[in-house]
């Protein structure tokens, strides 16, 4: 086991506790979380509920609609067909979809569609299928929409996200491969990787396996269940379902050296920055490329009625994280970013601080401690102690590194300016060696020994 993997495991041990606390502190319905490194599944957990009305807890086996993650599968399919000589990235819509020949969208290329640089309308002139107001379009309806409203901007002018563009890629894949899109991706991606809980669209034979999706609380405190629907001709843009575990396994196939799906040369093409979304986010061929701190990640988000999802892969570390949530306001992006930040804190090289030689010497300092003002977690991340606030969306962002200075003392050596840097924390242990309290500006008690009174009363001077 490498030092990085050991450090990542310490981060994930804390991430599990942080995720459980976040579910209690910032209530959402459910979250399924998986982390995989170099093929090994290091974390696979579920928090909260799959079905509120029937009191069913969420498990790691529940299925989620992963929406725009589908675009990554479509990107892989495109590159497979390019490798097979059946498709070129500079082929046009008109070459593969005769019904659109001569239309405004006919000259848009596969590359432009796959990178959202085609200037294509996002969802159509009336996309109420996203509200479940009507079914998603079938092939005839999609092509009619594309002919009438498809081209909005000139190609290669700016990044313009388009579900319609990726839906047309499904039709192009069908034409180039000679197979229906769903059959092609199932045979050439899902089955090749042995993904048992992944598919290109709603599987009614497994309808009871899906986590129920819910509305957000923007309209009131009560969350309303949302039915699952087939996305028909938009499967290639937004139809897929999966589990977090399957998704992390799938994204491992995007890492250099894994040639089960496409060559490394094709991966480099997919991961090349083409469309600029923000100053730290770009789009390749069916993939989001994002810079977070000093690391670059590939992956995708997904927004489907009732399910919000996020996956990121650090190809350098061979690390994949997927977070799937089942509400319209699900914090998938926040939780995913929080996990990655904890991992980065654990593995990033820093100047060494004075610590005892054995990990067990650090363990006695660890725990969750409470005051009237909140909670502080003292955690071993990668062999260093940190003070973290579990209430934060990004606990690593405000982490305070702690130096062991004695048998029962720590010193704050890191953290934000203006804080308590340089100040000491003193531990008090009972006869059994358990922490009874710690003092460091405030007196903090182990969380299981702390209770709030019915009222906090004014003190008297003795």
For 12, the 3-state DSSP assignment is helix
- Asked if residue 168 and residue 72 are part of one domain, the reply reads yes
Give the per-residue pLDDT at 104.
94
Which pair of structure tokens corresponds to residue 420?
A: 């308590």
End-to-end CA distance of the chain: 58
Domain edge (last residue) among 310, 330, 350:
330
CA–chain centroid gap for 8, Å, is 17
**Mean pLDDT for the chain overall:** 95
Domain edge (last residue) among 311, 330, 349:
330
The span from the CA of 198 to the CA of 76, in Å, is 15
Which residues pair with residue 48 across a beta bridge?
30
263-292: pLDDT as tens digits: 999 999 999 999 888 888 999 999 999 998
Please report the DSSP string for 67-96 in residue order. GGGHHHHHHHHHHHHHHTTS--TT-BHHHH
- Asked if residue 287 and residue 379 are part of one domain, the reply reads no
Indicate whether 336 belongs to any domain. no
Residue 209 burial (C-beta neighbours within 10 Å; 0-12, 13-18, 19+)? middle
Hey, what long-range contacts does 423-427 have (CB within 8 A, 24 or more apart)? Answer: 427/364, 427/365
Indicate whether 345 belongs to any domain. no
111-140: pLDDT as tens digits: 999 999 999 999 999 999 999 999 999 999
Looking up residue 381, the CATH number of its domain turns out to be: 2.40.128.50
Which pair of structure tokens corresponds to residue 343?
A: 């991992």
Task: Identify whether the C-beta of residue 207 lies closer than 8 Å to the C-beta of residue 167.
Answer: no
In the block, which residue shows the tokens 């590359």? 111
- Asked if residue 403 and residue 254 are part of one domain, the reply reads no
- Asked if residue 366 and residue 296 are part of one domain, the reply reads no
- Phi, psi (degrees; rounded to nearest 5) at 384: -125, 145
Indicate whether 458 belongs to any domain. no
pLDDT band for position 358 (cuts 50, 70, 90): very low
- Asked if residue 439 and residue 375 are part of one domain, the reply reads yes
Rounded mean pLDDT, 339-365: 75
In the block, which residue shows the tokens 């062991």? 404
- Asked if residue 201 and residue 94 are part of one domain, the reply reads yes
Task: Identify whether the C-beta of residue 162 lies closer than 8 Å to the C-beta of residue 113.
Answer: yes
Give the per-residue pLDDT at 139.
98
- Asked if residue 377 and residue 326 are part of one domain, the reply reads no
- Asked if residue 61 and residue 130 are part of one domain, the reply reads yes
Rounded mean pLDDT, 355-363: 62
399-412: pLDDT as tens digits: 999 999 999 999 99
Indicate whether 185 belongs to any domain. yes
- Asked if residue 409 and residue 316 are part of one domain, the reply reads no
pLDDT band for position 350 (cuts 50, 70, 90): low
Give the per-residue pLDDT at 353.
56
Give the per-residue pLDDT at 142.
98
Give the per-residue pLDDT at 120.
97
- Asked if residue 137 and residue 218 are part of one domain, the reply reads yes
- Asked if residue 378 and residue 319 are part of one domain, the reply reads no
- Asked if residue 367 and residue 326 are part of one domain, the reply reads no
Instruction: State the maximum Cα–Cα separation within the chain, in Å, rounded to a whole number.
Output: 90
Give the per-residue pLDDT at 359.
46
Indicate whether 374 belongs to any domain. yes
Residue 389 has pLDDT above 50, yes or no: yes
pTM of the predicted structure, to 2 decimals: 0.95
**How distant, in Å, are the alpha carbons of 43, 73, 151, 198, 203 from that of 242?**
16, 12, 32, 4, 11
Q: Does an H or E element contain 455, and which?
A: none
Residue 225 burial (C-beta neighbours within 10 Å; 0-12, 13-18, 19+)? middle
pLDDT band for position 2 (cuts 50, 70, 90): confident
The DSSP output letter for 416 is -
Query: How many domains are there within the chain?
Result: 2
203-236: pLDDT as tens digits: 999 999 999 999 999 988 899 999 999 999 999 9
Range of the domain at 283: 27-330
């Amino acid at each position: 086991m490498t030092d990085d993997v050991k450090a990542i495991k310490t981060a994930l041990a804390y991430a599990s506790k942080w995720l459980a606390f976040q579910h209690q502190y910032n209530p959402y319905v459910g979250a399924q979380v998986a982390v995989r490194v170099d093929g090994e599944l290091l974390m696979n957990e579920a928090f909260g509920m799959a079905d509120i009305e029937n009191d069913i807890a969420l498990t790691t086996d529940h299925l989620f609609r992963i929406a725009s993650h589908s675009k990554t599968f479509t990107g892989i399919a495109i590159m497979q067909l390019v490798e097979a000589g059946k498709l070129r990235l500079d082929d046009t819509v008109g070459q593969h979809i005769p019904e659109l020949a001569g239309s405004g969208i006919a000259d848009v290329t596969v590359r432009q569609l796959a990178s959202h640089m085609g200037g294509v309308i996002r969802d159509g002139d009336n996309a109420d299928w996203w509200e479940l107001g009507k079914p998603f379009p079938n092939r005839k309806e999609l092509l009619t929409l594309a002919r009438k409203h498809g081209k909005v901007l000139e190609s290669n002018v700016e990044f313009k996200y388009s579900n319609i563009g990726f839906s047309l890629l499904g039709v192009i894949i069908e034409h180039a491969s000679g197979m229906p899109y769903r059959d092609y991706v199932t045979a050439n991606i899902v089955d090749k990787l042995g993904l048992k809980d992944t598919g290109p669209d709603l599987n009614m034979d497994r309808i009871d396996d899906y986590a129920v999706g819910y509305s957000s609380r923007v309209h009131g405190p009560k969350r309303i269940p949302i039915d699952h629907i087939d996305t028909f001709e938009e499967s290639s843009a937004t139809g897929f379902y999966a589990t977090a575990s399957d998704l992390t396994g799938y994204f491992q196939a995007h890492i250099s050296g894994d040639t089960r799906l496409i060559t490394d040369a094709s991966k480099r093409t997919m991961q090349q920055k083409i469309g600029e979304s923000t100053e730290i986010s770009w789009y390749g061929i069916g993939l989001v490329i994002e810079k977070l701190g000093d690391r670059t990640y590939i992956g995708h988000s997904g927004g489907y009625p009732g399910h919000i999802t996020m996956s990121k892969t650090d190809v350098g570390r061979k690390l994949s994280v997927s977070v799937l949530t089942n509400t319209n306001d699900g914090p998938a992006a926040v939780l995913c970013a929080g996990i990655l930040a904890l991992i980065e804190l654990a593995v990033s090289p820093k100047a060494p601080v004075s610590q005892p030689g054995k990990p067990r010497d650090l363990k006695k300092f660890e725990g969750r401690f409470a005051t009237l003002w909140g909670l502080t977690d003292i955690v071993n991340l990668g062999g260093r102690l940190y003070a973290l606030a579990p209430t934060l969306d990004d606990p690593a962002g405000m982490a305070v590194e702690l130096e062991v200075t004695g048998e029962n003392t720590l010193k704050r050596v890191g953290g934000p300016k203006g804080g308590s840097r340089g100040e000491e924390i003193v531990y008090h242990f009972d006869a059994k060696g358990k922490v009874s309290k710690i003092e460091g500006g405030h007196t903090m008690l182990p969380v299981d020994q702390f209770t709030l009174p019915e009222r906090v009363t004014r003190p008297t001077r003795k």
